[in-house]
Amino acid sequence: MFLSLKRSLLCALPLMLGAEVTLAEVPTRTFCSWDPVGANGPLVTMVNEMKPKALAWGANLDVKAYTDEKIASNDFKAGACDAVLVTEVMAREYNRFTGTLGAVGAIPGEDELRSLLTTLSDPKAKPLMREGKYEIGGIVPIGAVFIFVRDRNVDSVEKFQGKKMAVFDNDPVAKTMVRRVGGSVVGASLSSFAGYFNNGSVDIIFAPAVAFDTMELYRGIEGGGGILSFPLLQTSMQIVVNAERFDENFGQNMRSWIHSQLDTILERVHTAEKTIPSKYWVSIPETRHDEYSQFMRESRISLMNDGLYDQKALQVMKRVRCRHAPQAGECSTNDE
């Protein structure tokens, strides 16, 4: 799903940050990276490219590849890994704040996304990145998530009723959202959801543009399907570290450096979206945008009240939205 990010994520590394550091002077730390392709995949490559930087930050990374994200996460929790790279959904287990950054409709566009990531990369935001012994060492955006439908006439919330939708087994938020619109939940995994859509086992899936080619999603929308042009949410990959196993400033150094690569990362996201043929996009009339936004806002508040979204994260993202659109009606309310 993320093969298109190979060149964009953490590229062009200098060998060191300045002072000479030898392997004998720094402790070895195990970094477990999920990658659906395995040891030669783009995500493992990204982590390997980070190793020279990590040396200067005080850790010699021993990178291990996993094709099953759940096993990587379980090994991390068991102490077999000192750091792990997982999807935002899996990262919720370690930090409810960053696990809420993909809340539906919370970050409507790139301007708001840039503002949010700039805020969270600042050292002042470090307390938000730490939950117990776990610290988020980096947030790597992989683009907006769109709704893929096998029938392009299914272009409104009302028409989702009764439709079969693939939802990741470890994502209670998505399951709740599907039930909220009257859809039928079909449990899936990162390795199976595309196949379900392409062979017609489900009517709807949710995915970023980078999945279009790599997961061959065009097979599922050929013959009358499409991609709703209204973005549902912003999603990311996240690096989680056991802060007790690293230098005090390791997490902040990693976050700052990853943020310095934001332009390159987002350019690859743009490219992925632009390469999707225009015939597959289903335009949503401007007159319905407010309706969609209101539905998602009500959903965020409901999910927050159910304990599935972190209230502090929603508040931070609301401040970001209101900084960009202070005239919005939500900016005068206190319910999020």
pLDDT at 275 over 60: yes
CA angle 55, 86, 97 (to 5 degrees): 100
pLDDT attached to residue 10: 38
Cβ burial 304-316 (10 Å sphere, 16+ → b, else e): beeebbbeebbeb
* Domain range summary for the chain, segments of one domain joined by +: 3-142+235-274, 145-233+279-310
pLDDT per residue over 216-247, tens digit each? 999 999 989 999 999 999 999 999 999 999 99
**144 and 234 Cβ atoms separated by less than 8 Å:** yes
Q: Alpha carbon 51 to chain centroid distance?
A: 22
CATH topology of domain 3-142+235-274: D-Maltodextrin-Binding Protein; domain 2 (3.40.190)
Residue with the two structure tokens 């931070």: 316
Angle between helix 110-121 and helix 311-324 axes, rounded to 10 deg:
120
Q: Looking at 2-6, 142-146, 213-217, which range is the least confident one? A: 2-6
pLDDT per residue over 43-73, tens digit each? 888 889 889 999 999 999 999 999 889 999 9
- CATH architecture, domain defined by 145-233+279-310: 3-Layer(aba) Sandwich (3.40)
pLDDT at 7 over 80: no
Q: What are phi and psi of 273, to 5 degrees?
A: -70, -40
pLDDT attached to residue 190: 84
pLDDT attached to residue 3: 44
**12 and 41 Cβ atoms separated by less than 8 Å:** no
pLDDT attached to residue 22: 55
pLDDT at 129 over 90: yes
334 C-beta neighbours (distance < 10 Å), count: 7
The Cα–Cα gap between 60 and 29 comes to 6
Q: Which helix (H) or strand (E) holds 282?
A: strand 281-282
Angle between helix 250-260 and helix 42-57 axes, rounded to 10 deg:
130
Q: What are phi and psi of 206, to 5 degrees?
A: -125, 125
The Cα–Cα gap between 203 and 245 comes to 45
